[in-house]
Amino acid sequence: MCKEIRRSILAFSVVFVLFILAVVISEGVNSRHILGTYPERISVAIPDVVSISKPSPEAFEFQTSKVATWLVRLFLSFAVPAFFLFSRLSAGIRAWAVKRTRRWVSMVVVYFSIYSFIEILIYFPVDLYTGFFRMHSYGLSNQTLLQWLVELVKGFLVNTTVTSLVIWVPFLIIKKSPKRWWLYLGLVTIPYLFIGSYVQPVVIDPIFNEYRQVEDVQLSHKIDSLIAKTPIENCQVLQVDKSRETNQMNAFMTGVFNTKRIVLWDTTINYLNNEEVLGVVAHEMGHYLMGHIWKSIVIGGLAGIIALYFVYRLSNWFIRKSNGKWGFTGLHDVAALPLIMLMINLLLFVSAPLSNAYSRSMEIEADRFELELTRNNFATATATVKMHQQSLAMPQPGFVYMLWNYDHPTYKSRVDFANDYRPWESGRPLKYGKFIKGQK
């Protein structure tokens, strides 16, 4: 390994260790702040302002575990592709695949399938602990070990199959245009993201869970009335049977055009009252009305062009300095996949604070729309408290962990916003009144 590469690895290792220290220190400072600030019990002040209680000891333990395993996964995101690269395992898999397939596309698919299988084996101990044992120890999972393993295998097969159908495209583009591939591939990303957004709700998601109409007839009618107050048309609101897996609550907006839908976990319907569920639905409606899915597709594609340009420059620098010692001399070789993944993961790490900040801004917009549509601050605040307490979430995490890991506003900031935002009470105009029928 040449001197420049060794220096690069050393510099990154030092930065990564300092980053870990910053995470640990900020989490410690934050825990002490929470212990000294928050009251022991939730109180509801007159008329309807909700306060947040001190988290349970289990919540503190769960947060510590989440931070630790997140750092482990972050380390593995660099260590695993580096292992494939520096051990020449990647080149060995490529050579094996070449001998057993006649077509280039088939070789790429075989290589990727083997790569993915080895990768999931490496991650399996962490996945088993975080996805099964930890969730059970804190009462957050309802799955048996067999059910969890079936879901893991199912997810691996679906992801590997879907990715295998397209993984050869980037390498073909790199091969045909070694100096402009980053631009062409970035442009291709936009329609790919659109197709994925369109297809996922009706093809991929039903493989893992059962989706059906909201079973509570009274709640369903209230949801229809809420949607009728907005310009949304032909939007399904479905419930999904997540209670067989978890005790946590969630909801999401997915799809575009005629596949758009709001999905409520059945746990959300079971644990929240109707007014709180309506607030959750209004939040997801806000995402659609403000075009967050479309914005994410376009901005994701444009950001992808920029990211892929840096991948192009950094990867080629490493290839030049390696002098073929890793078993390949160009990015068009499928054996270069771990190098590409290493560079992508590095850029994702560096850009995480920015992308998370953008995501949080969209969530704030949806929270604001929810309050303007329902005007039920109390239900929004109590739903937020219930959903986060059920998941053993902290009111606020350490600052560094928040920057790198929070794509939603903190639990505390959302409750504070729900308590304070009431422009209609003082006659001020609504920011999103144009999305609400009868409002300016």
Q: Centre a 10 Å sphere on the Cβ of residue 293 and count the other Cβ atoms it contains.
A: 18
Phi-psi category of 257—alpha, beta or left, where left has phi over 0 and alpha has psi -120 to 50? left
Alpha-helical runs (H) found in 129-180: 134-137, 145-166, 168-176
> Was 287 annotated as part of a binding site?
yes
**Among candidates 281, 213, 230, which has minimal Cα distance to 253?**
281
> Of the listed 245, 284, 333, 370, which one is catalytic?
284
Question: What is the helix (H) or strand (E) element at residue 268, kind and residue range?
Answer: helix 266-271
> Was 388 annotated as part of a binding site?
no
367 in active site: yes
76 CB contacts (<8 Å, ≥6 apart)?
122, 123, 126
> Of the listed 276, 333, 367, 416, which one is catalytic?
367
Q: Tell me if 417 sits within 8 A of 367, measured CB to CB.
A: yes
Question: In the 8-state DSSP scheme, what is residue 433?
Answer: G
> How many Å apart are CA 203 and CA 195, to the nearest integer?
11
> How many Å apart are CA 173 and CA 181, to the nearest integer?
6
407 in active site: no
DSSP class per residue in 55-99: PPHHHHHHHHHHHHHHHHHHHHHHHHHHHHHHTSHHHHHHHHHHH
> Was 332 annotated as part of a binding site?
no
State the residue for tokens 């506003």. 409
Phi-psi category of 84—alpha, beta or left, where left has phi over 0 and alpha has psi -120 to 50? alpha
> How many Å apart are CA 431 and CA 372, to the nearest integer?
8
- Catalytic residue annotation: 284, 367
Annotated binding site for Zn(2+): 283, 287, 363
